[in-house]
């Protein structure tokens, strides 16, 4: 792929705009709250799109199209039974506690609800995880640009990281959120023509169906046993592992996304943020997964398209998306597509950097290193953290080079850290008897159980470092079952230890637990704007999609 001057011009204009937005927003930062939590002043349409874009990193686009080519439309389960139901749950049931508690971060909610050690554990693991994710995202981008354009890995990583650093440094969370919205539009407008053209070239959906084995174009029919589908996953593993544990764990407790909703300007807006975001989220498979499936169909036709092969043989699925782009977009639109890829990387990275900033400054620095300093000091620390966080991400990018399937590794990390977390929040928000000791022991047990399961099972030569007791058909199935075991053990141990320890008196739990919190009923809000009505509409569309692609 070779870029023309017009492509570079488009890339330069994009860089100019994101830096310009950061520059214009620099005056809105007067306190550490403005810098780290946007002062709770962002309109709901902006928080909704940022909620989505912060998760839409480069590894999402490239990884999802790769999975589309490898596993087919089953990949859409990550959206249709994974993300979207979880987004409904966090908006309707959990946001009243996050937003209503006045906590500035998810770990801080744990401190208010449970105790200091639970917050500390969550804050530290989260900080490590964001740096890790950001580094993986950066690695994916650097590798891709090197492969596709022959750009230097180090140069492209440093340039894009520097731009994210500058606009986040200037305008803080607000700047990151505003740019994520611009990035979201660019991703949709830059990638959807590719999806449309690739599908049309392959003869439409029916043309794709006629060229690929039926398992690639059906999401549910081949799931009764793991041996029937290329993902190697059965219905239970999918619904319990991916949908219930991993997706709810990510979308409901990961501060990276929850932070966007918490920046909204009212409780009602905070609750509607994930609900509104659910609509575009449901449609994302058509932009990121379907092109991958179309690429596989095109590779089986004689139209002059070939999926690149790996050095060791077999398709290199990670290249599906970029090779399509190179062969469907002429100079000009190619620049837009590439800029959109850079944008997806930047939105993912900025999401990690801003979440890391807040957790580090408020939950680690202010809590354990220096308490009670004037606010200006924490604003300064927040700004310095932006630089340090970016530097750490760059370092992690080089560590990430040892792993090839990015999505699988991310799922593994989320399995260890996030899977038990959702049990903690569920019990914390809906069972007032849950105690700090219970939550802390449960979290440790859950994470330990995740590691233990990984050590005792093998899939595709991964895991089994204690004893290979059980063989899974794929790492994906292994990850889902790790999550199930981690969640269940955390859930049970938290209940057990809570019953053995002293609960906090109810007056200390006002606004933190169901039954002791005045959940808003949005009196006076038009019926179609109420969270429940929006959720019903989301569910209707979701069912239609699942039935259509069953």
Partner 1 sequence: MLDLRTSTGWFFSLLGVILLGLGVFSPGLRASLTAVNVNLYCGMGMLAFGVVMLLIARKRS
CB proximity list for 453: less than 8 A, separation 6 or greater: 481, 482, 485, 486
> Under the criterion CB under 8 A, does residue 269 sit at the interface with partner 1?
no
CB-based contact 163:15 (threshold 8 Å): yes
Exposure letters 257-284 (e unless 16+ CB within 10 A, then b): bbbbbbbbbebbbbbbbbbbbbbbbbeb
Closest contact distance (angstroms) between CB of 181 and partner 1 is: 6
> Under the criterion CB under 8 A, does residue 77 sit at the interface with partner 1?
no
How many angstroms separate the Cα of 32 from the Cα of each of 104, 223, 374, 437? Answer: 11, 49, 10, 31
Burial of 505 (0-12, 13-18, 19+ CB in 10 A): exposed
For partner 1, the closer CB: 88 or 336: 336
CB-based contact 18:179 (threshold 8 Å): yes
Kindly tell me which residue out of 40, 101, 128, 193 binds partner 1, with binding defined by CB under 8 A: 193
Kindly tell me which residue out of 53, 94, 140, 181 binds partner 1, with binding defined by CB under 8 A: 181
Cα 161 to the center of its chain, rounded Å? 19
The secondary structure of 223-291 as a DSSP string is -SSGGGSTT---HHIIIIIIIIIIIHHHHHH-HHHHHHHHTBSSHHHHHHHHHHHHHHHHHHHHHHTHH
Residues between 292 and 311 with contacts to partner 1, criterion CB under 8 A: 298, 303-305
> Under the criterion CB under 8 A, does residue 24 sit at the interface with partner 1?
yes
Closest contact distance (angstroms) between CB of 344 and partner 1 is: 16
**CA pair distance 389, 387, nearest whole angstrom:** 6
Tell me which residue has tokens 């062969």: 327
Tell me which residue has tokens 């928080």: 47
Kindly tell me which residue out of 168, 268, 327, 411 binds partner 1, with binding defined by CB under 8 A: 327
Determine the interface stretch with partner 1 among 66-74, 193-201, 285-293, 514-522 (rule: CB under 8 A): 193-201
Give phi and psi for 469, each to the nearest 5: -80, -35
Tell me which residue has tokens 């590439």: 338
Kindly tell me which residue out of 12, 155, 162, 189 binds partner 1, with binding defined by CB under 8 A: 189
Q: Give me the residues paired with residue 470 across strands.
A: 457
Closest contact distance (angstroms) between CB of 266 and partner 1 is: 16
For partner 1, the closer CB: 326 or 537: 326
Kindly tell me which residue out of 8, 12, 13, 506 binds partner 1, with binding defined by CB under 8 A: 13
> Under the criterion CB under 8 A, does residue 539 sit at the interface with partner 1?
no
> Under the criterion CB under 8 A, does residue 25 sit at the interface with partner 1?
yes
For partner 1, the closer CB: 167 or 222: 167
For partner 1, the closer CB: 354 or 411: 354
Kindly tell me which residue out of 329, 416, 481, 487 binds partner 1, with binding defined by CB under 8 A: 329
For partner 1, the closer CB: 6 or 495: 6
Number of residues that bind partner 1 (CB under 8 A): 34
Kindly tell me which residue out of 210, 331, 471, 508 binds partner 1, with binding defined by CB under 8 A: 331
For partner 1, the closer CB: 6 or 525: 6
CB proximity list for 211: less than 8 A, separation 6 or greater: 202, 203, 297, 300, 301
CB-based contact 237:246 (threshold 8 Å): no
> Under the criterion CB under 8 A, does residue 330 sit at the interface with partner 1?
yes
Residues that bind partner 1 in the complex, under the rule CB under 8 A: 6, 9-10, 13-14, 17, 20-21, 24-25, 28, 46, 178, 181-182, 185, 189, 193, 197, 201, 298, 303-305, 326-334, 336
């Amino acid at each position: 792929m070779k870029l023309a001057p017009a492509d570079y011009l488009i890339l330069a204009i994009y860089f100019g705009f994101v830096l310009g937005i950061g520059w214009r927003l620099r005056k809105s930062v007067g306190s550490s709250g403005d810098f780290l939590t946007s002062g709770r002043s962002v309109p709901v349409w902006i928080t909704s799109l940022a909620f989505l874009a912060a998760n839409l990193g480069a590894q999402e686009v490239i990884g999802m199209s790769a999975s589309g080519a490898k596993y087919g439309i089953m990949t859409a389960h990550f959206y249709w039974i994974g993300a979207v139901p979880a987004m409904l749950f966090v908006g309707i049931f959990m946001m009243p506690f996050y937003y209503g508690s006045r906590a500035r971060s998810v770990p801080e909610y744990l401190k208010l609800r449970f105790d200091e050690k639970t917050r500390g554990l969550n804050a530290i693991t989260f900080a490590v995880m964001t740096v890790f994710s950001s580094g993986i995202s950066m690695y994916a981008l650097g590798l891709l640009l090197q492969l596709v354009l022959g750009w230097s890995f180090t140069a492209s990583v440093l340039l894009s990281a520097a731009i994210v650093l500058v606009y986040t440094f200037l305008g803080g969370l607000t700047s990151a959120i505003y740019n994520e919205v611009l990035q979201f539009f660019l991703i949709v407008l830059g990638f959807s023509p590719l999806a449309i053209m690739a599908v049309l070239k392959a003869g439409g959906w029916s043309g794709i169906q006629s060229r690929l084995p039926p398992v690639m174009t059906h999401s549910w029919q081949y799931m009764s046993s793991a041996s029937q589908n290329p993902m190697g996953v059965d219905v239970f593993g999918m619904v319990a592992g991916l949908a219930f544990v991993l997706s709810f764990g990510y979308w409901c407790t990961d501060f990276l996304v929850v932070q966007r909703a918490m920046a909204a300007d009212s409780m009602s807006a905070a609750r509607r943020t994930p609900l509104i975001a659910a609509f575009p989220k449901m449609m994302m498979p058509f932009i990121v997964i379907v092109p991958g499936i179309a690429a596989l169909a095109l590779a089986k036709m004689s139209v002059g398209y070939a999926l690149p092969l790996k050095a060791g043989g077999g398709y290199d699925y990670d290249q599906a998306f970029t090779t399509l782009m190179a062969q469907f977009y002429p100079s000009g639109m190619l620049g837009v597509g590439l800029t959109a890829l850079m944008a997806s990387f930047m939105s993912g990275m900025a999401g990690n950097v801003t979440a890391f900033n807040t957790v580090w400054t408020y939950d680690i620095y202010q809590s354990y290193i220096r308490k009670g300093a004037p606010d200006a000091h924490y604003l300064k620390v927040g700004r310095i953290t932006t630089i340090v966080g970016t530097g750490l991400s760059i370092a992690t990018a080089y560590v990430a080079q040892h792993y090839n399937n990015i999505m699988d590794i991310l799922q593994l990390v989320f399995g260890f850290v996030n899977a038990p977390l959702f049990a903690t929040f569920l019990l914390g928000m809906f069972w007032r008897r849950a105690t700090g000791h219970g939550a802390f022991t449960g979290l440790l047990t859950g994470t330990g159980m995740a590691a233990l399961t990984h050590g005792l099972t093998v899939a595709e030569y991964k895991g089994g470092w204690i004893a290979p007791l059980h063989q899974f058909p794929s790492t994906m199935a292994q990850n889902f079952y790790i999550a199930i075991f981690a969640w269940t053990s955390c859930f049970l141990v938290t209940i057990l230890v809570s019953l053995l320890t002293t609960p906090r008196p109810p007056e200390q739990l006002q606004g933190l637990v169901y039954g002791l919190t005045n959940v808003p009923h949005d009196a006076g809000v038009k019926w179609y704007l109420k969270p429940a009505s929006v959720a019903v509409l989301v569910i209707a569309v979701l069912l239609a999609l699942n039935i259509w692609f069953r």
